[in-house]
Amino acid sequence: MSPDTIICWRWRPAVGYRSKFPPESVRILRNMVKRHYDKPHRFLCVTDHPEEIDPDIETLQLWDEWGDIPSPHGGHNPSCYRRLKMFSPEAGKLFKSARWVSLDLDTVILRDVAPLWDRPEDFVMWGETDPRSWYNGSMTLMSAGARPQVWEKFNPLTSPKEAKAAGRFGSDQGWISHILGPGEAIWKPRDGVLSFRIHLKNGTLPPPQNARIIMFHGGTDPDSPRGQRIPWVKGNYK
């Protein structure tokens, strides 16, 4: 089953956060998706500053809900609890979508992603990046209404600490891992979804032949001077 919408998220980070995600990062991601996914789809940016995004890119005004919840692991880590609204009952109407892929901006797409996104499960997340959490929020495929307990059980005052106390790491991904437990469908390195930091050893290894998407979660972004010095990053991140 193919997604009808590809969603990315851009909000201004807290002062001092390591990544800036300029407006052009949205356009670059849209371009990579267009080159490597030829099924009919919308591209949607959920953002707190839609006026900064290219006018030919569809935007949705980001909500304030849960935007001020800090990461339980400290301010140097991202806080993405706003993305949990994907699991809310109104998500389908909000996104005007029955099935979507949520994709981080710090991503490099190398080749056809249809084998990753055209699959039957109602919920798939990236996995195998941290033994403390079974799922990574950099990429999620889901149908509207899937896994509503992630939204229904979340308490902004207690849930971040609860997930951390259970040994889960991350903001939204830590909570998702805590509530769902292991066993959901995941993308693995063998599927061609890899971490720049972990699987490619911060760029000291080239992408393997099966690589489709490289995620730059961590200290290096694809648009950083270090990232742009790597030929395969510069050649694809545009």
At 100, which CATH number? 3.90.550.10
pTM to 2 decimals? 0.95
pLDDT of residue 70: 87
Give the model's pLDDT for residue 94.
98
The reply to whether 48 falls in a domain is yes
Mean pLDDT, contiguous 10-residue spans, the chain (238 residues): 97 67 96 98 97 97 91 82 97 98 98 98 95 95 98 97 96 97 97 97 96 93 95 97
pLDDT at 21 (0 to 100): 87
Indicate the number of domains in the chain.
Answer: 1
pLDDT for the residue numbered 25? 97
The answer as to whether 212 is a domain residue is: no
pLDDT the model gives residue 72: 87
In a domain, 161, yes or no: yes
Give dist(CA 197, CA 134) in Å, integer.
17
Tell whether 200 is covered by a domain.
no
Domain that holds residue 124: 5-106+113-190
216 assigned to some structural domain: no
Residue 204, in any domain of the structure = no
In a domain, 211, yes or no: no
Residue 166: inside a domain: yes
